[in-house]
Amino acid sequence: MHWPDDTAARYRAAGYWRGETFGGLLRDLAARYGDRPALISPGSPGAPAARWTFRDLDERADRLAAGLHAAGIRRGDRVVLQLPNVPEFHQVCFALFRIGAWPVFALPAHRSAEISYFCAFTEAAAYVCPDEEHKAYAPGTRAFTLADLAGLEAPSGTGPLDLPDADPGDVAFLQLSGGSTGLPKLIPRTHDDYVYSFRASAEICGLTPDSVYLCALPAAHNFPMSSPGVFGALSAGAASVLAPDPSPGTCFPLVERERVTIAALVPPLALVWMDAAATTAHDLSSLEVLQVGGAKFSEEAAKRVGPELGCTLQQVFGMAEGLVNYTRLDDPEDVIVSTQGRPISPDDEILILDDEGNESDHGHLLTRGPYTIRGYWRADEHNRTAFTEDGFYRTGDIVRRTPGGYLVVEGRAKDQINRGGEKIAAEEVENHLLAHPAVRDASVVAVPDPYLGERTCAYLICRGEAPKKAELRAFLRDRGIAAFKIPDRFEFVDAFPQTAVGKVSKRHLRERT
């Protein structure tokens, strides 16, 4: 699962891996930036407004670590974490890091199907959730709500737990993959590799202690977590504003009030922000950089960002498995609007293979490097195809490399729908549909959409009379899957088009729409 020893030694010698842990990092940051703001939360129904300094975060991580440890959470335990954008999200992360327990990052949109699977598959010691209603998602697992956590926190002045720190090469947490198989895969990230990725990202994004990062996407997502995200902002001594939702109505007043300098969005939200900016009364002039990533941002839309939001666009093409590409802030305009950037690290290896497996400047993207995993967690069989023998990760993306070494995302070979940055594994949804008694066969594909980029269409072959679409939607909701995975469209057919070898041809299905 890990990097070979000689490769790891090379990454250390090059200064990428510095032997730091999350726990130690926060201690250093608190010593350096003590009273400066770290996490700012405007508050929302049920969550009070908050302003935590670096010292607050450090102390409150220690107090919660003591409480969780007293409650039996131990080194190496997995804890499924599902919280909205509130400072407690990061408090729980750092408390677990200090114990050496691993957060498993669920998204707020996940429901019982996903949460119960994460808890079972990781043999989770606990599930951290917003409120009592969520507890039903993980019936067999001990759950802690936000209110429970407040009760667990040791009294102020308790001081750090007397526990050995994690090893920098240890797994720090499990991140989720968007996936392309029936069940989501879990991504083991180490202290060394992740700290490198967000520290280098903070540098590329020009963060300083005077920067203010807006976390508008769900904090658990890899993009707002590490590219540079809240962790990158912390590492630079910058403040992060945690927005309860990414709408202009919520975020524009926050940008104005907190003088936000950098924000991260997925393409559909960037469109909404640009439209809203035309008529807003809010002062967005502090915004210097808008990052857009998670799905392909069209060149036409990319060209509008500078004029309409008065800031520099940065395209971000990343993956929770590792590799992240950025356009650089001082790149020429045409590079910024027409490419998805270049890798963080000089040691990110980019391998592009055509359909015959020959190296090319256009084709399947594979990658290897100092912050790209060598295998999913407990997935030996899947790893044999997702990685090459010499450790390259097959991203499933089709890219073109420009003469300047920038990547342009041109398509996808993996069986996934990218619905405005939300990844949906076709097979996962197909399996849920197949559980319906009237469904004989199901094939889920992406269809183009002007706003989201892609939407989901489920082609179904039914037994007897086709069920009503509303009934299918209700059926999937009752199966407890996240709402964004419920198909936007259903089409009933008698047969699926086939490829030459007799498999369902998703390409032909897509072309039917």
Site string (331-350) toward ligand AMP, x via CB under 6 A: ---------x----------
Q: Are strands 362-368 and 393-401 parallel, antiparallel or unpaired?
A: antiparallel
- The DSSP secondary structure of 466-480, one letter per residue, reads PPPHHHHHHHHHHTT
CA dihedral of 461, 470, 137, 115, whole degrees rounded to 10: 50
| Smallest separation (angstroms) from ligand AMP to the CB of 239 | 25
294 binds ligand AMP (CB under 6 A): yes
**Binding-residue total with ligand AMP (CB under 6 A):** 21
For residues 99 and 296, give the distance between their C-alpha atoms in angstroms, rounded to a whole number: 38
CB 296 within 8 Å of CB 341: no
List 110, 296, 374, 506, residue binding ligand AMP (CB under 6 A): 296
Q: Which residues contact 426 (CB under 8 A, 6 or more apart)?
A: 180, 415, 416, 417, 443, 444, 445, 506
Nearer to ligand DBH, 293 or 363 (CB): 293
264 binds ligand AMP (CB under 6 A): no
The site partner of 177 among ligand AMP, ligand DBH, none (C-beta below 5 to 8 Å per kind) is ligand AMP
294 binds ligand DBH (CB under 6 A): yes
- Among 17-25, 60-68, 271-279, 292-300, the segment contacting ligand AMP (CB under 6 A): 292-300
| Smallest separation (angstroms) from ligand DBH to the CB of 218 | 12
| Smallest separation (angstroms) from ligand DBH to the CB of 221 | 7
- The DSSP secondary structure of 293-361, one letter per residue, reads ESSPPPHHHHHHHHHHHSSEEEEEEEETTEEEEE--TTS-HHHHHH---EES-TT-EEEEE-TTS-B-S
Q: Which residues pair with 316 in a beta bridge?
A: 293, 326
| Smallest separation (angstroms) from ligand AMP to the CB of 423 | 4
Nearer to ligand DBH, 104 or 324 (CB): 324
Nearer to ligand AMP, 91 or 345 (CB): 345
| Cβ neighbourhood burial of 453 (10 Å; 0-12, 13-18, 19+) | buried
Q: Which amino acid is at 353?
A: L
Residue whose token pair is 């770290």: 38
Nearer to ligand AMP, 423 or 455 (CB): 423
The site partner of 296 among ligand AMP, ligand DBH, none (C-beta below 5 to 8 Å per kind) is ligand AMP
The site partner of 89 among ligand AMP, ligand DBH, none (C-beta below 5 to 8 Å per kind) is none
- Among 166-174, 201-209, 315-323, 384-392, the segment contacting ligand AMP (CB under 6 A): 315-323
- The DSSP secondary structure of 179-193, one letter per residue, reads -SSSS--EEEEEHHH
**Dihedrals phi, psi of 407, to nearest 5 degrees:** -105, 140
372 binds ligand DBH (CB under 6 A): no
For residues 113 and 480, give the distance between their C-alpha atoms in angstroms, rounded to a whole number: 5
- DSSP state for residue 497 in the 8-state scheme: -
List 318, 370, 375, 467, residue binding ligand AMP (CB under 6 A): 318
**Tokens standing for 78?**
């997995």
- Among 112-120, 166-174, 222-230, 341-349, the segment contacting ligand DBH (CB under 6 A): 222-230
- Among 26-34, 72-80, 232-240, 293-301, the segment contacting ligand AMP (CB under 6 A): 293-301
Q: Which 359-418 residues touch ligand AMP, going by CB under 6 A?
A: 395, 397, 409, 412, 418
**Dihedrals phi, psi of 483, to nearest 5 degrees:** -60, -35
- Interface residues toward ligand DBH, by CB under 6 A: 222-223, 226-227, 293-294, 316, 318-320, 324
- Interface residues toward ligand AMP, by CB under 6 A: 177-178, 222, 293-296, 315-321, 340, 395, 397, 409, 412, 418, 423
